[in-house]
């Protein structure tokens, strides 16, 4: 498999040689993270199988015996993938709609036994109803919504979160009193990937605090949202008639149902599919998916009517497409099923695009993905940005791509453009289109943004986006175009310096002892620091001044801290000032700057702030917003983001 | 990392214990697996095997009664065993079993050809020492490129250099290495 045969003699080496070879740093941080995630996933499976074996052998797991609770890790939640288009996770488009929640008449916490359910009669429908009800209850708990449990608000515990910040947990006062009880409930009710996801979210959510913790023998819940029970008339109920059971074979059956509403988004007649299996004498739900894609193929709309409600619905769908573009949709992916795509023109600084297999999503292939996007967005907005989500003919490495007929999602997050809020304003245009003005949250406040809605293929879609005309620069900002033109260069200057310098003396470099002394890091063998020969910089203060003259606010603080902090990907600082010889050393920059095309536009300006849109070829035909602030009489960068 | 340290961490947080163990031994395990599977497996297969090994260790290491000393021996043993199994699976999957490769794999440490083993060990030792003599970053570059089969851009990213510089240094270093090895009677 390997082409380089020069070092074949090292193969099957002795221990001493292996030791020496292991000192060569080969794995990148990303590779290590991926390998660790794969290992943990396999561990989860082994733990789960181990538990199943215990049950199959007829052993009762008691409270006395140490219960080997599965260690779960998952990358995204069932609800997040169910809600691909709804956007419950992360930033939610908080339009003032009442929260309509599914609440089934079956959603008690009883586990479903096989008693009386040996025939595919009405009993299986009741079982299916209970399982689906339990599924929605667990989905809500996973999202931090304490809708199906009671909490004792007087008993809280604050723990240190993964990022060091305090996280408050409130004691669970109903249903379960310990983690083992909750885990028993999960393993009695769910199986397969559904169990994986709930267990991961409940007990050990990678990158996020688990929904439950057992502290001093008591069970606590991390409440993320305050929830007010909706009035009964607002609550949408799945009737028994909506649930259908098929393919019953004595040990498993398929479930199908339709829902009218879920959470904040109206999704009429959304088809959902589940599968129940008989395990250990109990019926368990082992898969569930919501076919959001087909639900998003919205019903025919009136070409002569487009009001605020319509605008809100449309913007919600549009914002989800925006989040998909930004890599912000947390689809459930199989991190062990990875595809690599070598890029002929590296678009994100790396020569390879990494894709993870999308699983348990209502969107099964690229056609569905395209329908998803094009049901809310049309030309020219598609070509301007959003076709990057699905168009693998126009783009080498779009956000979603099929490999061997299976859907994969690219691991490429770059920040979303829109985080809309408030009531949009709808203006009718003479050509039959509508203009929607909405508020978009940006660092430090909000900005007005403008969308154009057109009627196409029997429904309303967003055809363009931008800023309202009255937000364009005024005559008072006569030098705004000049400032805007300089903004991309300034940003590139800052980014380049933060990545190290390109002008170095390759002979004068720091030895390992010195690096160790300044960094306190072990194994500095592969880190090279060369003397900075850039005439602009001879000390760390020069670097700090350079950054301070071009940036402002928290962005400046972060950058200045990062200059000497061990913040680079491998923990080593970018610059080291060797006080013994007074020289400044730097890692060689691997960042050549972003490819700005020179196409800039002032999108918004006040006396002290300005937003500049700059076209950038990373990836092709993208846009970036650079936010400037006037500081000490000079325009400086306060932050930036991809559009 | 000692078993004692691992167990102490494990009691506080299993996840942190797994993370620490992985960080400590991932390069070592990767080196072992790569060394065994280099000629037979793709990079994905090698990654699969490495993740299997850590899953085995996470699952199987008995924190209640484990040896308190260095875990390296345990980790190394699990890794070697798994790598050899993986080699078998890969060979079976590919449908053609290279007898030569099989022989090579199982001759390690055997007494069948002690003289040959000894010669090989000496040759490897000379090769490694000559590579080390190249100095950093060339020694790392040359091993990453010609042994670990990494591309110049990957090495460049790892070492904070430009890919063109890596290519240039790799070519020069290989020439230099060949020359010094030739003087020691070894041909690459």
Claim to verify: residue A552 and residue A623 sit in the same structural domain: no
Higher pLDDT, A452 or A511: A452
Q: Residue A458 phi/psi, 5° resolution?
A: 70, 15
* Cα–Cα distances in angstroms (integers) from residue A547 to residues A493, A561, A584, A627, in the given order: 9, 11, 16, 16
| Contact by Cβ (8 Å): A563, A574 | yes
Gap between the Cα atoms of A460 and A462, Å rounded: 7
Q: Assess if residue A12 is contained within a domain.
A: no
Contacts of B13 in chain A (CB under 8 A): none
- Contact of A109 with A135, CB cutoff 8 Å: no
- A235 versus A340: the higher-pLDDT residue is A340
Choose the final residue of a domain: A239, A272, A295.
A295
Q: What is d(CA B127, CA A6) in angstroms, rounded to the nearest whole number?
A: 11
pLDDT for the residue B3: 81
> Which residues numbered 589-608 in A keep a CB inside 8 Å of some CB on B?
589-590
Tell me which chain B residue has its CA closest to the CA of residue A41.
B55
- The pLDDT score that the predictor gives to residue B29 is 94
- The closest CB to that of A43, out of B59, B161, B162, belongs to B59
Residue A483: both structure tokens together: 């400032």
- Cβ atoms of A525 and B136 within 8 Å: the answer is yes
Q: Judge if A421 and A504 occupy the same domain.
A: no
Query: Per-residue pLDDT for A270 more than 80?
Result: no
Q: How many CB atoms lie within 10 A of CB A105?
A: 12
Q: Assess whether B130 and B66 both reside in one domain.
A: no
Residue A348: is its pLDDT beyond 70?
no
Q: Dihedral, CA atoms, A53, A57, A63, A66, nearest 10 degrees? A: -50
Contact A4 B146 (CB under 8 A): yes
Of the candidates B54, B140, B160, which has its C-beta nearest A500's C-beta? B160
Q: Where are the alpha helices (DSSP H) in chain B?
A: 3-12, 14-37, 43-60, 72-94, 99-106, 114-133, 138-142, 152-159, 163-183
Of A2, A23, A587, the CB nearest to B39: A2
Which of B31, B144, B156 comes nearest A590 by C-beta?
Answer: B156
Q: Do A418 and A433 belong to one domain?
A: yes
Cβ <8 Å between A31 and B47 = yes
Contact A10 B127 (CB under 8 A): yes
Q: Which residues pair with B2 in a beta bridge?
A: B70
Strand partners, A614: A600, A624
Closest CA to A193 of A275, A279, A129, A269: A275
Decide if A24 touches B, using CB distance below 8 A: yes
Predicted local confidence at residue B108, as pLDDT: 43
The number of C-beta contacts closer than 8 angstroms across A and B is 176
Find residue A636's DSSP bridge partners: A629
Query: Given this model, what pLDDT does residue B78 score?
Result: 83
Task: Say whether residue A384 is in contact with chain B using an 8 A CB cutoff.
Answer: no
Count how many domains chain B has.
2
Q: Does residue B95 lie in a domain region?
A: yes
Average pLDDT over residues A579-589: 76
Cβ–Cβ contacts within 10 Å for residue A404, how many?
A: 6
For residue A626, the surrounding DSSP H or E stretch is: strand A622-631
By C-alpha distance, the chain B residue nearest A4 is B146
Mean confidence (pLDDT) of chain A: 71
pLDDT at A171: 94
CB contact under 8 A, B148 and A528: no
Q: Same structural domain for residues B26 and B84?
A: yes
Residue A140 has pLDDT above 50, yes or no: yes
What is the number of alpha carbons within 13 Å of residue A165 lying toward its C-beta? 5
- Both tokens assigned to A38: 């794969």
Which of B104, B129, B156 represents a domain boundary (last residue)? B104
CATH number of the domain at B122, please: 1.10.10
Q: What is the CATH number of the domain that holds A368?
A: 3.10.450
Q: Which residue of A has its CA nearest to B43?
A: A1
User: Each residue of A7-29: pLDDT tens digit?
Assistant: 777 877 777 788 888 888 788 88
> In a mutagenesis test of the B interface, which of A27, A66, A570 is the best target, namely the one with the most B β-carbons within 10 Å?
A27
Structure tokens at B6: 């691992």
CB contact under 8 A, A43 and B140: no
The token duo for A361 is 């999503």
B179: domain range? 114-183
Query: How close does chain B come to A22, measured CA to CA in Å?
Result: 5
Residues 6+ away with beta carbon under 8 Å from A320: A84, A85, A86, A87, A329, A376
Residue A232 lies in a domain: yes
The model's pLDDT over A418-456, given as tens digits with 9 standing for 90+, comes to 777 778 899 999 888 999 998 887 655 677 888 999 998
Mutate to test the interface with B, among A16, A30, A35 (most CBs of B within 10 A): A35
Q: Is residue B22 part of a domain?
A: yes
What is the DSSP code string of A417-430? S--EEEEEEEEE-T
Task: Compute the residue count for chain B.
Answer: 188
Residue pointed to by tokens 């449990």: A149
What distance in Å separates residue A34's CA from the closest CA in chain B?
Answer: 9
Say whether both A550 and A604 belong to one domain: no
**What confidence score (pLDDT) does residue A563 get?**
75
d(Cα B40, Cα B52) in Å, to the nearest integer? 17
For residues A133 and A278, state if they share a domain. yes
Q: Kindly report, residue by residue over A91-119, the tens digit of the pLDDT.
A: 222 222 222 333 333 333 344 444 333 44
**Lowest mean pLDDT, pick from A230-234, A331-335, A338-342, B104-108:** A230-234
Please give, rounded to a whole number of angstroms, the shortest distance from the CA of B48 to a CA of chain A: 8
| Same domain, residue pair B9 and B79 | yes
Q: What is the predicted pLDDT for the residue at A167?
A: 85
Mutual angle of helices A192-203 and A179-189, in 10-degree steps: 160
Q: Is A52 among the domain residues? A: no
3-state secondary structure of B64: coil
Q: Model confidence over A156-172: pLDDT tens digits?
A: 988 877 666 788 899 99
Give a yes or no: residue B188 inside a domain. no
**Which residue did the predictor score with more confidence, A516 or A139?**
A139
A314 and A281 belong to one structural domain: no
Same domain, B125 and B79: no
**Residues A293 and A42: beta-carbon distance below 8 Å:** no
A114 and A137 together in one domain? yes
Kindly report which listed range (A111-115, A267-271, A514-518) carries the lowest average pLDDT score: A111-115
Asked if residue B98 and residue B9 are part of one domain, the reply reads: yes
Minimal Cβ distance to B38: which of A11, A31, A43: A11
Look at chain A and report how many structural domains it folds into.
4
Give me the pLDDT at residue A454, please: 94
**What are the residue ranges in chain B where pLDDT is below 50?**
95-99, 102, 104-112
The confidence band for A185, taking pLDDT boundaries of 50, 70 and 90, is very high
A51-73 CB burial, b ≥16 within 10 A, e <16? beeebeeeeebeeeeebebbbbb
Mutant choice from B10, B60, B160, B173 vs A, greatest count of A C-beta within 10 A: B160
In this prediction the ipTM stands at 0.87
Domain boundary among B81, B104, B127: B104
Which of A3, A7, A207 is best to mutate for the B interface (most B CBs within 10 A)?
A7
Q: Is A36 a member of any domain? A: no
Phi and psi (nearest 5°) for A477? -100, 50
Q: Kindly state whether residue B77 falls inside one of the protein's structural domains.
A: yes
Q: Whole domain around residue A631: which residue ranges?
A: 472-483+594-642
Q: What pLDDT score does A181 carry?
A: 92
Residue that finishes a domain, picked among B74, B104, B134: B104
Query: Do residues A258 and A155 both lie within one domain?
Result: yes
Residue pair A474/A610 in contact (Cβ under 8 Å)? The answer is no
Tell me what pLDDT residue B32 has: 92
- Across the interface, do A23 and B27 touch by the CB < 8 Å criterion? yes
Check residue A267 and give its pLDDT: 47
Q: Is A354 on the interface with B (CB under 8 A)?
A: no
A404 falls within a domain: yes
> Does A238 have pLDDT greater than 90?
no
Which residues in chain A have their CB less than 8 angstroms from residue B18's CB? 36, 39-40, 43
Q: What per-residue confidence (pLDDT) applies to A6?
A: 65
Give the pLDDT score at A220.
94
- A30 — contact with chain B (CB < 8 Å)? no
> In this structure, are A547 and A445 located in the same domain?
no
Whether chain B has a CB inside 8 Å of the CB on A14: the answer is: yes
- CATH, residue B15: 1.10.1740
Determine whether the interchain pair A47/B162 forms a contact, defined as Cβ–Cβ distance below 8 Å.
no
Structure tokens at A634: 């000079």
In terms of Cα–Cα distance, which of A599, A481, A585 is closest to A534? A585
To the nearest whole Å, the CA of B67 is away from the closest chain A CA by 21
Residues in chain A closer than 8 A to B38 (CB atoms): 1-2, 11
Instruction: Pick the closest to residue B167 from B152, B157, B154 (CA basis).
Output: B152
**What does the pLDDT read at residue A268?**
53
Give the model's pLDDT for residue A89: 26
Question: Are residues A614 and A568 located together in one domain of the fold?
Answer: no
The pLDDT of residue B145 is 87
Q: What is the pLDDT of residues A288-310, one digit of tens each?
A: 776 654 444 455 678 888 888 88
Same domain as A132, residue A250: yes
User: Does B85 share its domain with B162?
Assistant: no
Task: For chain B, say whether A226 makes contact (Cβ under 8 Å).
Answer: no
In a domain, B109, yes or no: no
Sign of CA dihedral A560, A564, A566, A569: positive
Q: Is the per-residue pLDDT at A493 higher than 50?
A: yes
Estimate the crossing angle of helix A480-498 against helix A540-550, to 10 degrees: 150
* Nearest residue to A192 (alpha-carbon basis) of A133, A135, A119: A135
* CA proximity to A154, closest of A170, A168, A141, A176: A170
The length of chain A is 643
- Both A136 and A270 in one domain: the answer is yes
């Amino acid at each position: 498999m390997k082409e380089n045969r020069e070092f074949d003699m090292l193969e099957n080496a002795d221990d001493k040689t292996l030791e020496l070879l292991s000192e060569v740093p080969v794995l990148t941080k990303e590779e290590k993270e991926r390998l660790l995630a794969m290992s943990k996933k396999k561990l989860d499976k082994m733990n789960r199988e181990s538990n199943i074996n215990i049950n199959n052998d007829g052993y009762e797991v008691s409270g006395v015996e140490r219960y080997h609770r599965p260690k779960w890790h998952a990358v995204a939640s069932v609800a997040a993938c169910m809600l691909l288009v709804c956007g419950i996770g992360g930033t939610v488009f908080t339009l003032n709609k009442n929260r309509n929640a599914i609440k089934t008449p079956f959603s008690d916490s009883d586990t479903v036994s096989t008693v009386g359910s040996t025939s595919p009669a009405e009993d299986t429908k009741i079982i299916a109803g209970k399982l689906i009800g339990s599924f929605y209850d667990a989905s809500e708990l996973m999202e931090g919504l304490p809708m199906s449990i009671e909490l004792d608000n007087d008993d809280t515990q604050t723990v240190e979160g993964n990022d060091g910040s305090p996280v408050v947990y409130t004691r669970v006062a109903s249903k379960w009193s310990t983690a083992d009880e909750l885990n028993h409930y999960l393993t009695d009710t769910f199986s397969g990937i559904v169990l994986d996801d709930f267990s991961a979210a409940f007990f050990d959510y990678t990158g996020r605090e688990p929904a439950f913790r057992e502290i001093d023998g008591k069970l606590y819940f991390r409440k993320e949202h305050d929830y007010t029970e909706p009035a009964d008339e607002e609550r949408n109920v799945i009737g028994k008639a909506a649930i259908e059971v098929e393919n019953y074979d004595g040990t498993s059956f398929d479930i199908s149902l339709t829902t009218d509403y879920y959470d904040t988004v109206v999704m009429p007649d959304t088809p959902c599919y589940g599968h129940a299996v008989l395990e250990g004498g109990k019926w368990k739900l082992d898969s569930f998916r919501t076919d959001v894609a087909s639900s998003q193929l919205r019903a025919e709309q009136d070409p002569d009517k487009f009001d605020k409600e319509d605008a809100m619905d449309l913007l919600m769908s549009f914002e989800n497409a925006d989040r998909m573009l930004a890599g912000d949709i947390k689809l459930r992916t199989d991190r062990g099923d990875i595809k690599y795509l070598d890029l002929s023109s590296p678009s994100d600084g790396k020569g390879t695009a990494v894709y993870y297999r999308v699983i348990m999503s209502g969107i099964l292939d690229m056609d569905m993905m395209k329908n998803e996007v094009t049901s809310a967005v049309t030309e020219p907005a598609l070509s301007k940005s959003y076709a990057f989500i699905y168009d693998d003919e126009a783009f080498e490495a779009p956000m979603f791509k099929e490999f061997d007929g299976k859907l994969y999602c690219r691991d490429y997050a770059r920040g979303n453009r829109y985080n809309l809020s408030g009531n949009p304003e709808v203006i009718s245009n003479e050509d039959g289109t509508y203009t929607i003005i909405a508020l978009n949250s940006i660092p430090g406040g909000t900005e007005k943004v403008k969308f154009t809605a057109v009627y196409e293929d029997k429904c309303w879609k967003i055809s363009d986006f931008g800023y309202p005309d009255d937000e364009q620069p005024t005559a008072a900002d006569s030098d705004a175009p000049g400032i805007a033109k300089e903004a991309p260069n300034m940003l590139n200057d800052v980014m380049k310096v933060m990545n190290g310098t390109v002008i170095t003396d390759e002979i004068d470099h720091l030895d390992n002892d010195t690096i160790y002394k300044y960094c306190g890091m072990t194994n500095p063998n592969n880190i090279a620091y060369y003397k900075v020969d850039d005439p602009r910089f001879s000390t760390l203060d020069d670097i700090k001044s350079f950054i301070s003259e071009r940036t402002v606010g928290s962005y400046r603080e972060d950058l200045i801290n990062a200059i000497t902090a061990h913040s680079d990907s491998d923990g080593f600082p970018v610059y080291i000032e060797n006080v013994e010889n007074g020289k400044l050393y730097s890692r060689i920059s691997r960042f050549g700057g972003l490819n700005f095309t020179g196409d800039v536009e002032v999108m918004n300006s006040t006396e002290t702030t300005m937003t500049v849109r700059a076209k950038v070829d990373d990836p092709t035909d993208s846009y970036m917003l650079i936010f400037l602030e006037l500081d000490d009489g000079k325009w400086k960068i306060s932050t930036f983001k991809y559009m | 990392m000692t078993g004692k340290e691992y167990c102490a961490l494990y009691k506080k947080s299993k996840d942190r214990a797994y993370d620490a163990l992985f960080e400590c031994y991932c390069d070592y395990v990767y080196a072992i697996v790569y060394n065994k599977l280099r000629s037979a497996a793709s990079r994905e297969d090698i990654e699969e095997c490495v993740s299997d090994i850590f899953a085995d260790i996470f699952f199987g290491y008995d924190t209640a009664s484990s040896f308190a000393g260095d875990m390296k021996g345990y980790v190394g043993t699990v890794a070697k065993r798994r790598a050899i199994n993986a080699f078998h699976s890969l060979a079976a999957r590919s449908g053609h079993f290279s007898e030569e490769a099989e022989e090579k794999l199982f001759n390690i440490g055997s007494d069948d050809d002690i003289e040959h083993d000894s010669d090989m060990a000496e040759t490897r030792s000379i090769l490694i020492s000559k590579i080390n003599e190249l100095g950093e970053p060339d020694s790392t570059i040359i091993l990453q490129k010609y042994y670990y089969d990494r591309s110049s851009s990957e090495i460049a990213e790892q070492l904070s250099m430009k890919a063109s510089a890596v290519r240039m240094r790799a070519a020069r270093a290989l020439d230099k290495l060949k020359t010094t090895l030739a003087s020691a009677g070894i041909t690459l």
